[in-house]
Amino acid sequence: MTNNKKVNKKDIGKLLSQWSQEFAVFVPSIESGVATMARWEGKDTSFLDWYRNTVIPPKANFLPPMEEMFSFRKDREGYNIELPPNGGKQLIFGIRPCDARALAIIDANFKDLYQDPYYLPRRSSAVLIGVGCTNPYDSCFCTSLGISPAESADVDLMLTDIGDEFLVEEVTDKGKKLTAKTSGLKEATKDDETRAKEIKETSYNKVTRKINAEGIVDKLLASFDDQDYWEKVAAKCISCGICTLLCPTCYCFDINDELVRQQGARFRSWDSCAFPLYTKMPMENPRQEKWRRVRQKVCHKFGFFPMNLNIIACTGCGRCIRLCPVNWDITQVLESVPVREAKPQIH
Amino acid sequence: MTTTNISPSRFLAQDNVYLPHIAVIERIIEETPGIRTLHFNFKDKKLGEEFTFKSGQFGEYSVFGIGEAPFCISSSPTRRDHLEFTAQRVGRVTNALHRLGVGAEIGFRGPYGNSFPLGYLQGKNLVFVGGGIGLAPLRSLIWNVIDNRDKYKNIALIYGARSPADLCFKYDLDAWGKNKTIKSVTTVDRGDESWTGKVGVVPKILEEVAPSAKNAVAIVCGPPIMIRFTFPVLTKLEFTPEQMLTTLEKRMKCGIGKCGRCNIGNIYVCRDGPVFTYAQIKSFVSSEY
Amino acid sequence: MEQKLRSEVKALLEQGKVDWIIGFEPGSLKFTTTPLITKDKNDAERLVINPFIVNNLANFLTEIMGRVGIVAKGCDSRSIVSLIQDNKVAREDVVILGVPCTGVIDLSKVEKLMGKDRDELNDIAREGDKVIIRVSGKKKEFPSTQVLFNHCLACESPTPKEYDILLGEPTPPILAAQERIEKLKQMTPEQRWGFWEKELSRCIRCYACRNVCPACFCQRCFVEETEPQWVLPAPRWQDNLIFQIVRNIHVAGRCTDCGECERACPVNIPLRSLTREMYDIVGELFQFKAGMDKDALPLMTHYEEKEAEDFFR
Amino acid sequence: MKQKTEWEPKLVGFLCKWCSYAGADLAGTSRKKYPANIRIIKVPCSGRVDPLFILKALRLGFDGVVVSGCHPGECHYQTGNYRARRRVAITKRFLEYLGVEPQRIQASWVSASEAGKFAEVVTEVTTGLKEVGPNQLFSEGRQEDGTKTTERS
């Protein structure tokens, strides 16, 4: 006897059906050629066969590309503000450990000092069911950031592919509560666990791309003012927003209003430090030049964010490398940071 | 000394930090052809009574349907029959603000950011150095100091603008000019026939006035170019970086350190600033400033 | 070809004929290349020419100061010519290292054919009009028309017309049919609009399509204007669609149908079905082909007294 | 479609101030009858009309757009109308390809003295728009079959 459960792969559909009673269930899907977490239609579980990771990161389920913050209407009394209705509870099935960690990283930002009233309720009401990644891409480098492709503390339940079955580990109380009311799970055996352990190790070793994250904060700060270096690194960047908008840890957003005939709404939408407009003020722009923006992206993720919140804002999912139109590769960039004596760290 | 005495703004009637409170424009003062000061009060009177802020803090002001923009509260917390902010017409939101009339409703969120460290300033000689619309945040502090005059030592103000027509808060400058406890110097880059005051850019006049650095703090606010030339002058006058304060301006959207754009180094100007010592600014990441 | 390129580049830099070289070097992932922008003659050895040189390097010309040697396929050279027409680049400031192109391999087509992701394949090789793919000991052959980019299949001038050094023998165009556009044209107007509504609803406004485009060189794009705000700078399908429509109109006569916008799109929007149609409209109405003749006047600054008037009242 | 009888199309006209705008003015003062469906925006030259204006008008829910300038050879700035012609030509063709009904975009040459022609153009466009119905291009609520149900106010 073990603490863990298991489920036959054939029965995944049944589990999802049960969960659909309570949650809006999202699974990896291909919509018009783009892999994304989409509402489960109630039958197909073939994603278990083809799916490696989604193009659209699961952050989109919690921080959508565009959302209404509130609407307003003007009448004789003045402006009235109305909040949009709360969404339902989400269950994300099949999230990879890198993306689950990424959500934890975004959580840190949205919890820091002020509580974000849109993102956080969605997160706290959601259940994450991780599925271990047994076939990482050649762009993946999660293991360099303390993540194992088939293990996660950032999900509620963690599934590992052990052949015809998944081993189901209860990671959180929320996960425990879910399995308690889920039928169709069997008790896992010691053999299942041994098998899962092997799978996890094999998966870990399949991640071959590496970065040296140790001391990266100091290394970057020491080279922060090295304009020549940053210009070289930025040369081929085209300042599009792919690497940031589709980064599972990037959370920057823009706020915009719209008004049509006395009625309007305020929206927030994904924004990117790659865009010159991101920091543009009427009179000046601190990051007009491309190299400054590229530097900001790298240094925010690997320097400033960990300085503040003690975690590197990158999980090695490799999307930015895989999707970049010019193959700008963050791992090569980090490798090439000149080695210098560190400036004293400041806070 | 630290200015980053940040704690979340408690003036949040709703749980949703992004929801603005409705405020009503009560008076508009055209400072210069492109700059106006708007006096406002909250529509909900009770809310208005609960509202507290400190000199140096800012708010996010909405023109509904156009957008939000950050401005410091330019009135003093010691004078609370209304609140004021000052906006220069430079973009979408400020253009809209310049189209508003008395009675119009705007949205307000805040107050956000840190503030001028009053505790640190007390018992010291204060040198205010301002340029153009940069007087707005200083003005909140200046009135604050005047209303608690006995807590501070000598006060000097060096304020300038491009031309006499570009001087903001002329009514305040008049009042401070008459105030015997303040040494107030006003200058313009270029004068006209009727101008009898000083002519010259602010850093130059500052050098002329040459306030002593002894037990003093300089509080500098103005266009970036003025700030960049003012710090060296202060240094020459033997002010240490810890004795120079300024407020930074960056593009901001959320005002609470979430949306990312006002990040420099490991600080968010909206949340950890906007008031910093020159020592802090130098320590962030110099080429970003 | 690669050897000739490397020695030419070395010579150009050594003799001071150019300050910069823009070419391709091996990318960091399988079957990729990446732009190499360098001043260093030792970097010449890193330059490659292979069936994966996807980028239109002309895009970098407008941001580099000085004289530039640039590796250009047929489509890239047309973009360079178009920039010359628009006075964005001076002819004497560029040394065009022309690559007679036999088409570039579209990895997403390969993935579809093989049912595997690119990193799971062992080798992809071009042999004449065939592409040979090796995976786990097996070898599969496809006619190259099945795996080349659509824009390569439609390319009219795979060999650069404008060049200073040609790195090989000229290659003939393939010119296959434009199936996707034909399909769209058979739909009703309402279905077509619905098609674009659906496609553009995926857009995340990363602006990769605009930023990879050598023809999109505005200092400030209309989508970023705030006074007035033409479109909401947020990914809503209506605004996304207006962005694409107006972008296409704005680059009409400059767009060479290089297909970079579609290739760069991370959410698979068939943008070339827009650019190609605009390319064809311009060709039909004004007998104009972008980037074919460096001495021709830019399309939109020029006119004939009698033209395109049948719909005027 | 029972709404058709009640519904009146709204159109926006970008009129060159040197010719068509004066023509429209003359149509008004000489009491030429034409439908009151057009909102007029004066432009310094038809060459000022960025195709973006046309898209913005459609986005705002206008049912049709008229761009009108000086006859060929009569542009106050020599070539503005020729350039406008190229722009409108590609815009109209491109929008048709995307699925916008051709009736929604009309270009015309109307001189300052052609009040009658201006009235005719507006009448024709209005009639054409009544045939194609309201502009729902940018409204939400598309059905499975591609038709839209929601009516724009």
Choose one of B50, B83, B112: the last residue of a domain. Answer: B112
Cα C57 from Cα C71, distance rounded (Å): 7
Partner residue opposite C277 with nearest CB, options D82, D97, D138 = D97
Choose one of B112, B132, B147: the last residue of a domain. Answer: B112
Residue B242 belongs to domain with CATH number: 3.40.50.80
* B73 lies in the same domain as B141: no
Contact C196 D51 (CB under 8 A): no
Residue B25 contacts A, CB cutoff 8 Å: no
Cα A68 from Cα C234, distance rounded (Å): 11
Contact B91 C227 (CB under 8 A): yes
CB C64 within 8 A of CB C20: yes
Query: Taking CB atoms and an 8 Å cutoff, what residues of chain A touch C28?
Result: 321, 327, 329, 331-332
Calculate the dihedral angle through the C-alpha atoms of A316, A319, A322, A328, rounding to the nearest 10 degrees: -80
Residue of chain A whose Cα is closest to the Cα of B63: A257
On the question of pLDDT at C231 being above 70, the answer is: yes
CB B116 within 8 A of CB B141: yes
Contact D90 C282 (CB under 8 A): yes
For chain A of 347 residues, list the mean pLDDT of each consecutive stretch of 10.
87 96 96 94 89 96 96 92 92 97 97 93 97 96 96 96 96 96 94 96 96 93 93 96 97 93 90 95 90 96 94 97 97 92 54
CB A325 within 8 A of CB C263: yes
Contact A70 B284 (CB under 8 A): no
Between chain B and chain C, the number of residue pairs with CB atoms below 8 A apart is: 6
| Residue B111 CB-density burial (10 A; 0-12 exposed, 13-18 middle, 19+ buried) | buried
Q: Domain of D50? A: 9-132
* C44 lies in the same domain as C124: no
Q: Which of A251, A233, A215, A248 is nearest to A298 (CA)?
A: A233
Q: Domain of C213? A: 2-104+148-301
pLDDT category of residue C21 using cuts at 50, 70 and 90: very high
Give, as one character, the DSSP assignment of residue A341. Answer: P
The sign of the torsion formed by the CA atoms of C302, C308, C313, D6 equals: negative
pLDDT category of residue B2 using cuts at 50, 70 and 90: very low
CB C105 within 8 A of CB C53: no
Query: Taking CB atoms and an 8 Å cutoff, what residues of chain A touch B8?
Result: 113-114
What is the maximum span of chain B, computed from C-alpha positions, in angstroms?
Answer: 56
CA B68 distance to own-chain centroid: 18
The token duo for D73 is 């050879």
Report the pLDDT value the prediction gives residue B86, as an integer from 0 to 100.
97
Cβ neighbours for B154, distance < 8 A, ≥ 6 positions apart: B125, B126, B183
Does any domain span residue D142?
Answer: no
Tens-place pLDDT, residues B219-266: 999 998 899 999 999 999 999 999 999 998 889 999 999 999 999 988
CB C52 within 8 A of CB C31: yes
Query: Taking CB atoms and an 8 Å cutoff, what residues of chain D touch C184?
Result: 97
Residue D129 contacts C, CB cutoff 8 Å: no
Choose one of B112, B137, B162: the last residue of a domain. Answer: B112
* C18 lies in the same domain as C163: yes
* B72 lies in the same domain as B142: no
Mean residue pLDDT of chain D comes to 90
On the question of pLDDT at D107 being above 90, the answer is: yes
* B225 lies in the same domain as B146: yes
Partner residue opposite C206 with nearest CB, options A137, A242, A327 = A242
Does any domain span residue C285?
Answer: yes
Report the pLDDT value the prediction gives residue D140, as an integer from 0 to 100.
82
Does any domain span residue B272?
Answer: no
Residue D54 belongs to domain with CATH number: 3.40.50
On the question of pLDDT at D142 being above 70, the answer is: no
* B147 lies in the same domain as B211: yes
pLDDT category of residue C180 using cuts at 50, 70 and 90: confident
Phi/psi class of residue C228: alpha, beta or left (left: φ > 0; alpha: ψ in -120 to 50)?
A: beta
* C97 lies in the same domain as C244: yes
Contact C202 A235 (CB under 8 A): no
Cα B124 from Cα B214, distance rounded (Å): 9
Tens-place pLDDT, residues B5-62: 455 555 554 579 999 999 999 999 999 999 999 999 999 998 899 899 999 999 999 9
On the question of pLDDT at C214 being above 50, the answer is: yes
Q: Which of residues 228-287 of A touch C (CB under 8 A)?
A: 235-236, 238-242, 245-246, 254, 256, 258, 267-270, 272, 275, 277
Does any domain span residue B84?
Answer: yes
* C109 lies in the same domain as C236: no
* C135 lies in the same domain as C189: no
Q: Which of residues 256-285 of B touch A (CB under 8 A)?
A: 256-266, 271, 283-285
Does any domain span residue D28?
Answer: yes
Domain ranges for chain A? 5-206, 216-335
Report the pLDDT value the prediction gives residue D32, as an integer from 0 to 100.
86
Q: Which of C233, C237, C213 is nearest to C222 (CA)?
A: C233
Residue D132 contacts C, CB cutoff 8 Å: no
Q: Which of A63, A67, A81 to mutate to test the interface with B (most CBs of B within 10 A)?
A: A81
Residue B104 belongs to domain with CATH number: 2.40.30.10
For residue C136, CA distances in Å to C51, C114, C139 come to: 22, 12, 8
Q: Domain of B40? A: 21-112
Calculate the dihedral angle through the C-alpha atoms of A15, A21, A26, A27, rounding to the nearest 10 degrees: 20
On the question of pLDDT at D62 being above 60, the answer is: yes
Query: Taking CB atoms and an 8 Å cutoff, what residues of chain C touch B95?
Result: 227
Report the pLDDT value the prediction gives residue B286, as an integer from 0 to 100.
59
Number of domains in chain B: 2
Q: Which of A55, A228, A231, A240 to mutate to test the interface with C (most CBs of C within 10 A)?
A: A240
Contact B91 C229 (CB under 8 A): no
* C132 lies in the same domain as C276: no
Q: Which of B11, B18, B97, B283 to mutate to test the interface with A (most CBs of A within 10 A)?
A: B18
Does any domain span residue C307?
Answer: no
From first CA to last CA, the distance across chain D in angstroms is: 16
- φ, ψ for residue C25, nearest 5 deg: -125, 165
Contact B95 C229 (CB under 8 A): no
Name the residue type at position B58.
Answer: F
Partner residue opposite A117 with nearest CB, options B17, B62, B223 = B17
Range from A229-233, C72-76, C175-179, C256-260 carrying the lowest mean pLDDT: C175-179
Does any domain span residue D69?
Answer: yes
Please tell me which chains touch D, using 3 or more CB pairs under 8 Å as the contact test: C
Residue C129 belongs to domain with CATH number: 3.10.450
pLDDT category of residue C47 using cuts at 50, 70 and 90: very high
* C292 lies in the same domain as C258: yes
Does any domain span residue B263?
Answer: no
* C245 lies in the same domain as C177: yes
On the question of pLDDT at B289 being above 60, the answer is: no
Cβ neighbours for B36, distance < 8 A, ≥ 6 positions apart: B28, B29, B30, B86, B87, B97, B98
- φ, ψ for residue D35, nearest 5 deg: -60, 145
Does any domain span residue B279?
Answer: no
Partner residue opposite A240 with nearest CB, options C35, C207, C267 = C207
Residue of chain A whose Cα is closest to the Cα of B288: A286
Report the pLDDT value the prediction gives residue C311, as an integer from 0 to 100.
84
Number of domains in chain C: 2
Q: Cβ atoms within 10 A of the Cβ of D39, count?
A: 11
Cα C287 from Cα C289, distance rounded (Å): 7
Residue B91 contacts C, CB cutoff 8 Å: yes
Report the pLDDT value the prediction gives residue D150, as an integer from 0 to 100.
45
pLDDT category of residue B287 using cuts at 50, 70 and 90: low
Tell me the whole-structure pTM to 2 decimals.
0.94
Q: Which of A6, A7, A64, A53 is nearest to A27 (CA)?
A: A53
Cα C151 from Cα C175, distance rounded (Å): 9
Residue B47 contacts A, CB cutoff 8 Å: no
On the question of pLDDT at B3 being above 50, the answer is: no
> A203 to chain C, minimum CA–CA distance in Å?
15
On the question of pLDDT at B127 being above 70, the answer is: yes
* C133 lies in the same domain as C282: no
Q: Which of B178, B168, B270 is nearest to B223 (CA)?
A: B168
Cα A169 from Cα A270, distance rounded (Å): 34
Query: Taking CB atoms and an 8 Å cutoff, what residues of chain A touch B265?
Result: 304, 346
For residue C306, CA distances in Å to A65, C278, D86 come to: 47, 21, 11
Contact A238 C204 (CB under 8 A): no
* B96 lies in the same domain as B157: no
Residue D74 contacts C, CB cutoff 8 Å: no
What share of chain C has pLDDT > 90, as a percent?
90
Report the pLDDT value the prediction gives residue D144, as an integer from 0 to 100.
53
Cβ neighbours for C71, distance < 8 A, ≥ 6 positions apart: C5, C22, C23, C24, C47, C49, C53, C57, C97, C99
CB C160 within 8 A of CB C134: no
Report the pLDDT value the prediction gives residue B13, as an integer from 0 to 100.
46
Q: Which of residues 100-119 of D touch C (CB under 8 A)?
A: 100-102, 106-109, 117
On the question of pLDDT at B1 being above 50, the answer is: no
Tens-place pLDDT, residues C126-169: 998 999 999 988 999 999 999 999 999 999 999 999 999 999 99
- Are B and D touching by the rule of 3+ CB pairs within 8 Å? no
Query: What order do you get walking across the sheet with B216-221 strand by strand?
Result: B198-199, B182-188, B155-161, B125-131, B216-221, B244-247, B275-277
Cβ neighbours for D138, distance < 8 A, ≥ 6 positions apart: C238, C241, D58, D59, D61
Report the pLDDT value the prediction gives residue D33, as an integer from 0 to 100.
87
Query: Taking CB atoms and an 8 Å cutoff, what residues of chain A touch C236?
Result: 66
Mean residue pLDDT of chain C comes to 94
Query: Taking CB atoms and an 8 Å cutoff, what residues of chain D touch C185?
Result: 97
> A101 to chain C, minimum CA–CA distance in Å?
23
Cα C26 from Cα C113, distance rounded (Å): 24
Query: Taking CB atoms and an 8 Å cutoff, what residues of chain C touch D95?
Result: 245
Choose one of C128, C147, C166: the last residue of a domain. Answer: C147
